[in-house]
Chain A
Amino acid sequence: NAGVMQNPRHLVRRRGQEARLRCSPMKGHSHVYWYRQLPEEGLKFMVYLQKENIIDESGMPKERFSAEFPKEGPSILRIQQVVRGDSAAYFCASSTDRRGPNEKLFFGSGTQLSVL
């Protein structure tokens, strides 16, 4: 059973371009979470999605950032018109649809975004 797969591992963009980060959850997982790790900081929650629904986007910047988790295919975190401050590691995590203290998140290896 493959773990959470994120691609690309490294993404380089110039200012003003678009960045698309992909996350394939573990098999059988229908919940996806995106986190951002800025240099010298801990991970910060961005958005929580279930299939075709955004459940909690309280950590998403108001502009330029969007996320989706379609019925088929991976979850996509999209950053439009990137700026240097968007340079960070973006981690995806997935879990099953069970709720409660025994639910566990599995993390991907992250995508390192560098904006030139």
Chain B
Amino acid sequence: AQSVTQLDSHVSVSEGTPVLLRCNYSSSYSPSLFWYVQHPNKGLQLLLKYTSAATLVKGINGFEAEFKKSETSFHLTKPSAHMSDAAEYFCVVSGGGLTGGGNKLTFGTGTQLKVEL
């Protein structure tokens, strides 16, 4: 069984300040972890993924996330927020299901990021 918990449903930051979106996971397998972003009226876009290589993962648009097994966390960060970062962000864990792995994804409930001037 696997699950993911996004600790904040809404986060508001000022442009130019750091972003922290928190995610904790639970998985019976060695998980693959992802962050996806969904802009209004658009499909999901993959920001970054962790697949048991380096624990600090760099993604697109200046985002990165650190896998911490001891804390079962995979928080998403960005040093300086931009107005275009305003969107909904989903933390996702992969693995499990009838196929024994593969791409059955379990999504968190999402964090809405608001960026203010």
Which A residues form the contact surface with B (CB < 8 A)? 3-4, 31, 33, 35, 40-45, 48, 55-56, 58, 91, 93, 95, 99, 101-105, 107-110
Q: How many pairs of residues, A versus B, come closer than 8 Å at their CB atoms? A: 65
Q: Are B43 and A45 in contact (CB under 8 A)?
A: no
Question: What are the interface flags for B41-78 relative to A under an 8 Å C-beta threshold, 1 for contact and 0 otherwise?
Answer: 11111100101100000000000000000000000000
Q: Are B32 and A56 in contact (CB under 8 A)?
A: no
Q: Are A99 and B102 in contact (CB under 8 A)?
A: yes
Q: Tell me the chain B residues, 68-115 only, with Cβ under 8 Å from chain A.
A: 90, 97-99, 101-110
B interface residue count range (under 10 / 10 to 19 / 20 to 34 / 35 or more):
20 to 34
Q: Are B102 and A48 in contact (CB under 8 A)?
A: yes
Task: Determine the distance from Cα of A93 to Cα of B42 in the docked complex, in whole angstroms.
Answer: 13
- Contact A103-B103, Cβ < 8 Å, known A40-B109, A109-B41, A109-B43: yes
Task: Determine the distance from Cα of A3 to Cα of B46 in the docked complex, in whole angstroms.
Answer: 13
Q: Are B90 and A55 in contact (CB under 8 A)?
A: no
25 A-B contact pairs sorted by A residue (CB < 8 Å): A3-B43, A35-B105, A35-B107, A40-B109, A41-B109, A42-B90, A42-B108, A42-B110, A45-B104, A45-B105, A48-B97, A48-B99, A55-B98, A56-B97, A56-B98, A58-B98, A95-B103, A101-B51, A101-B52, A104-B46, A105-B105, A107-B36, A107-B44, A107-B45, A110-B43
Task: Determine the distance from Cα of A55 to Cα of B102 in the docked complex, in whole angstroms.
Answer: 11
Consensus secondary structure, chain B interface: loop
